[in-house]
Amino acid sequence: IPWHATVLTLYPDAFPGVLGASIIGGAEKSGLWQLETVDIRDFAVNRHRTVDGTPAGGGAGLVLKPDVSAKAIDSVVCPDDSSTGNIRDDRPLLYMTPRGRPLTQKRVRELAAGPGLVCFCGRFEGLDERVIESRNMEEVSIGDFVLAGGEVAAQAMIEACVRLLPGVLGSADSLEEESFETGLLEYPLYTKPREFEGREIPAVLTSGDHGAVDRWRRAQMEEITKARRPDLWAAHLKRKNSPET
C-alpha cells in the first residue's frame, strides 16, 4: 500500500489543489501515494449540520465542536476492534495550527519514511482542546504567520513529504544538495543567455573550472545564509565545531 494522506476538512473542495498538479499530482496518478479527504461537516449531529460553537468564557470567533471533530477523526483513525475487523491505523494524527510546533525538514523526512499521515484542518478560531488531548494530536505550524485555515498548511506539509518518496523526484543527489539538508541556503542559479538585461552570468560559472565553481558556490551559500538566516548560520558553525552532535 502506498504512502497515504487523509485530510479532515470543512472545505474538501480545496483538495487536491496544488497537490493535483505537476510532479506531485502525477505521482498520485502513478500510484506512488494516495490522497483522501473527509468532510468534517458529514459528522455534524443536528439538522442544521452545526460544526461550531461560541468559545466558553467569551471572546471572538467560533470553536469546532468536540463531538463533531472527534467523530470525524474516529471515522479515520479507528481503534483496534476484532469484532468489526478494523485494523489499527498507525499513521500520525496531525493538527494544523499556528500554535503548533514549527514543521522542519527533519519531521518531514520522518513523516515521508512512515505509512503516511492523517491531518486535521481547523477553521474558525480552532478546535476544542479536549479533542487535541484525547486523540493525542500533534500540533503543527508551517510558520509564524496566520492562515485563514489549515488547508494550505496541510497541502504544504503533504507536498514536502511526497517529493521525498522514492520514485517521485528525479535523483537522490538533487535532494541531498538542498538547503536544510546541508544546513545552508542554496547558491544562486543562472542559465543562458550569458547576458540578460545588461547582467552577465558570473564568469567563474562559464570558466569550465569545476573546483572554482564549487568554491564560489560554497562561498555564496555561506554569505547568503549569514545575511538572511543568522539562526541557521549559528547552528552550522556549532555543528562544524562539534561534528558528532
Backbone angles phi, psi at 135, to 5 degrees: -95, 5
Q: Does residue number 37 form part of the binding site for ligand ADE (CB under 6 A)?
A: no
Helix H or strand E segment including 220: helix 210-228
Q: Does residue number 147 form part of the binding site for ligand ADE (CB under 6 A)?
A: yes
Among 142, 161, 162, 221, binds ligand ADE (CB under 6 A): 142
Q: Does residue number 98 form part of the binding site for ligand ADE (CB under 6 A)?
A: yes
Nearer to ligand ADE, 117 or 147 (CB): 147
Q: State in angstroms the smallest separation of the CB of 244 from ligand ADE.
A: 33
Among 10, 96, 111, 118, binds ligand ADE (CB under 6 A): 96
CA torsion sign for 88, 92, 95, 101 is positive
Which grid cell is 193?
A: 543567455
In 3D space, the residue among 42, 34, 41 whose CA is nearest the CA of residue 15 turns out to be 34
Rounded distance, CA 218 to CA 115, Å?
36
Q: Is 141 in contact with 100 (CB distance < 8 Å)?
A: yes
Neighbouring-strand partners of residue 102: 141
Nearer to ligand ADE, 37 or 97 (CB): 97
Q: Does residue number 127 form part of the binding site for ligand ADE (CB under 6 A)?
A: no
Q: Does residue number 97 form part of the binding site for ligand ADE (CB under 6 A)?
A: yes
- The response to whether 209 counts as a known ligand-binding position is no
Stretch near ligand ADE under the rule CB under 6 A, chosen from 28-36, 96-104, 158-166, 215-223 = 96-104
The site that binds ligand ADE (CB under 6 A) totals a number of residues, namely 11
Helix (H, G, I), strand (E, B) or coil at 1: coil
- The response to whether 51 counts as a known ligand-binding position is no
